[in-house]
Structure 1
Amino acid sequence: MPLLPRRQALGLLGAAALPLPAVAQATPVRIGWLRAPNDITTGRARGTLERALAALGARVEWAGPFAAAAPALEALNAGSIDITAGSSTASIAALAAGIPMQVFAYQKIAPGGEGILVKDDSPVRRLADLANRSVAVNRGGTGEYLLMRALDTNGVPAAAVRRVYLSPGDSGAAFAQGHVDAWATWDPFVTIALQSYGARMLADGAAIGSDNAVTLLCARDFAARRRPLLQAVLDCCRADNRWAQDNTAEAGRIWAEAMSLPAALAPAIGRNNAVPTRAVSDADIAQIGLIADWYVASGIIPRRPDVAAGVVRLD
């Protein structure tokens, strides 16, 4: 191979010594996104999170999609991601398990976004009628919380109802095929069941007295080391949340597409899930603490975790 002229060779050497492109040098923020209607899913679809973090010299590395909060929190515990989404119930389970995470945003679930469902032709007309019947729930998650809260507030002994522990996907199939009498769940499964499985709402979140919320979560060390970036993520999510509230149909379309659901479900999913997101307040910590108390009383977790320590307070 012929030798290059000296000037050209020096030029190549100089190019090799140049700094790497800014994108490669940017601080990575690893976000685990869920197939779920939340502000992170919105920000991913609209590109807003990438732009907000790029303005601070950071770049997003997406992980997922995760089917639910539990596997996303496993990834966070393993150090594979920095930020993800979940729920109050998932947060309590994670804190009780010793996962080093903190809640940094709180979004109270709309009453129609969760509840206990039965088939339209079911003889079950009130919560007390669930005695001696089976209910599909996800173990230690929102479904089990909704059922236990509903039974307690209506004076039905927990032992009188058979809990069938299934994943949300398996619960839907069991409910649709009549293998269980009821299903305690949340959106989008509520919308799917009402529109596709011949379901009716036996009791929504308000009737149950649910304190559950969507939460945004981060690794504890990320909150300590990268607080300005975490604040930027929260600010971006709140902006996307305001957009979703003003554009529920379009937000529903984004969420339905992310979850590979029919477009016909988008309007209801948008209405159920475009509700305000905020930084965590003292009142929110108290509500999460109520769920922790329920979990301990119901034997779902052995002891109450330190809820306040599991929260990072942002502006």
Structure 2
Amino acid sequence: MSKSIRNAAAILHRPVMAGWVVALALAFALPVQANETLRIGYQKSSTLITVLKTQGTLDKALAQQHIDVSWHEFPSGLPLLEALNVGNVDISADVADTVPIFAQAAQAKLTYFAQEAPSPSAQAIVVRQDSPLQQLSDLKGKKVAVTKAAGAHYLLIAALKKAGLEFSDIEPAYLSPADGRAAFENNKVDAWVTWEPFLTSAQRQLPTRTLADGAGLASYKRYYLTSTSYAKAHPEVLKVVYEQLHKTGEWVKNNPREAAQVLSPLWGNLDVATVESANTHRSYQVQPVKGDQLGEQQKIADAFFAAGLLPKAVDAKDVDIWKP
């Protein structure tokens, strides 16, 4: 190649090289934008959220929006909503219908963003098979194990009212599900009020008899909540979470054995047959929350206030609702 040709090629190449140099310099100079993180609080009993967590489905869906997910487990619903209220998590997995009422009484700024359709048979008041207690009115003066502020707590109040009793007519033993099971099994209490999967586990492993489930007493909805500030700032994130919850609810109902196999190790290696049976009592039907359908929430609030378990009366409709 002649010298003149080489010089011409070099001149033509200089702008290209210069462009690459500038591009590389800009690439190194500009900061890499970090993904946002969605912090989700959940309990072991948060079925749909734990399935999403285990299968990685929600992580993948949100990654498309450059959002990472961090998972935070809580022992029960009240500490979970307290963490939500103070900003330690962004979204709460499902909690029993009673829990938001206590959060409202504490003036928490929370927003409903989904609910599961009623599952009244997913909780019940049980006694031992040989118990002399035959009907709800027989609970008068008896010691009853129940988890404070849980859906089962409202079921107990509603059942006592149906029997013409006040909450003060019994001796409540406020225990976690595990401690309630131990007290029931060891004859430390006369009755136990619990929910799935603890209910089916006890019914399959112990000689029990059911005094009443939620039918006609407590519909037992499960609610998903977020902070009001997060709902206003990230509606697109809630849309993805809602869609994934809805799909997972349908998958659990349409694939009961496979879902039970996923949940079994997450629920303390509870046998698959028990998990599958317990899930037949839950609707897992994810729906939007509507203000005109919060009537039972008001009944719950009024019942707890009348029983002296809330510091003040609560207007159940005085809440924010995100609509998908």
| TM-score when normalising by structure 1 | 0.88
2-side partners of 1:122 and 1:249: how far apart? 34
Q: Is the 8 A contact 2:260 2:276 kept in 1?
A: yes
1-side partners of 2:260 and 2:310: how far apart? 34
Residues paired across the two proteins, number: 303
2-side partners of 1:253 and 1:299: how far apart? 42
Aligned partner (choices 299, 308, 312) of residue 290 of structure 1: 299
Q: Is the 8 A contact 1:256 1:266 kept in 2?
A: yes
State the partner residue of 1:73: 81
Q: Is the 8 A contact 2:124 2:213 kept in 1?
A: yes
- 1:294 is paired with a residue of what secondary structure? helix
State the partner residue of 2:189: 180
Q: Is the 8 A contact 1:211 1:288 kept in 2?
A: no
2-side partners of 1:98 and 1:222: how far apart? 17
State the partner residue of 1:216: 224
State the partner residue of 2:18: none
2-side partners of 1:223 and 1:309: how far apart? 16
State the partner residue of 2:63: 54
Pair 1:299 & 2:271 matched: no
Letter in 2 for 1:222: Y
Aligned partner (choices 102, 105, 108) of residue 96 of structure 1: 105
Kindly provide the CA deviation profile for residues 14-52 of structure 1, in whole angstroms up to 9, marking residues without a partner as x: 7744653xxx72221111121014321221122221122
Q: Is the 8 A contact 1:49 1:236 kept in 2?
A: yes
Q: Is the 8 A contact 1:83 1:219 kept in 2?
A: yes
Aligned partner (choices 17, 37, 40) of residue 49 of structure 2: 40
Question: Greater CA deviation, 305-314 or 134-143?
Answer: 305-314
Q: What is the CA-CA distance between 1:67 and the residue it aligns to?
A: 2.0
2-side partners of 1:27 and 1:52: how far apart? 14
1-side partners of 2:42 and 2:174: how far apart? 24
- 2:231 is paired with a residue of what secondary structure? helix
Identity %, equivalent residues: 31
Letter in 2 for 1:260: G
- 2:287 is paired with a residue of what secondary structure? coil
Matches within 5 A, 1:220-299: 220-264=228-272, 265-299=274-308
Q: What is the CA-CA distance between 1:180 and the residue it aligns to?
A: 0.2
State the partner residue of 1:106: 115
CA gap of 1:108–1:97, structure 2 versus 1, over 3 A, is: same
List runs of 5+ in structure 1 lacking aligned partners.
Answer: 1-9
Q: What is the CA-CA distance between 1:91 and the residue it aligns to?
A: 0.9
CA gap of 1:311–1:132, structure 2 versus 1, over 3 A, is: same
Q: Is the 8 A contact 2:111 2:322 kept in 1?
A: no
Compute the RMSD of aligned alpha carbons.
2.3
- 1:152 is paired with a residue of what secondary structure? helix
1-side partners of 2:248 and 2:103: how far apart? 26
CA gap of 1:175–1:46, structure 2 versus 1, over 3 A, is: same
Q: Is the 8 A contact 2:228 2:320 kept in 1?
A: no
2-side partners of 1:274 and 1:52: how far apart? 24
2-side partners of 1:234 and 1:187: how far apart? 23
- 2:264 is paired with a residue of what secondary structure? helix
2-side partners of 1:197 and 1:94: how far apart? 35
CA gap of 1:235–1:139, structure 2 versus 1, over 3 A, is: same
Q: What is the CA-CA distance between 1:136 and the residue it aligns to?
A: 0.6
Q: Which of 1 and 2 has greater Rg?
A: 2
Kindly provide the CA deviation profile for residues 255-306 of structure 1, in whole angstroms up to 9, marking residues without a partner as x: 3322213224221122122431101023432222221121222221132334
2-side partners of 1:105 and 1:204: how far apart? 24
Pair 1:133 & 2:142 matched: yes
Q: What is the CA-CA distance between 1:151 and the residue it aligns to?
A: 0.4
